[in-house]
Amino acid sequence: MPAKLSDNVRARVTAGFAKLVEEVIQKDLAPRTRGELLRILEDDSCRESMKEGYRELIDSLGERGVSRRLGKRMIELIKEESE
């Protein structure tokens, strides 16, 4: 199995999952974290959208064992791509 997933496989595996939280790079941690926290705390629609996104993510993951299912699916996609 390749050490790194191709962009094509990565895109298919993550398709449909919206960005729920802002990625914060370490060097920008303090100012960006403060801004994100204030946005979440003060903006009701932002907070509700985030909570709804997490509910959808939990529903899409299904029963326990999602890591195993995802791993199997990733292997299937890699095999399909190499054919």
Q: Which three-class secondary structure state does DSSP give residue 26? A: helix
Residue 44 CA to residue 38 CA, distance in Å, equals: 11
Find the domain containing 65 and state its range.
28-82
Q: Is residue 71 part of a domain?
A: yes
List pLDDT tens digits, range 1-53: 344 545 655 555 555 555 656 665 666 677 778 888 899 999 999 999 889 88
Burial tier of 9 (Cβ tally within 10 Å: 0-12, 13-18, 19+): buried
Q: Is residue 21 part of a domain?
A: no
Q: Is residue 39 part of a domain?
A: yes
Six-digit token string for 20: 């729920």
Q: Is residue 52 part of a domain?
A: yes
List pLDDT tens digits, range 44-66: 999 998 898 888 888 877 788 88
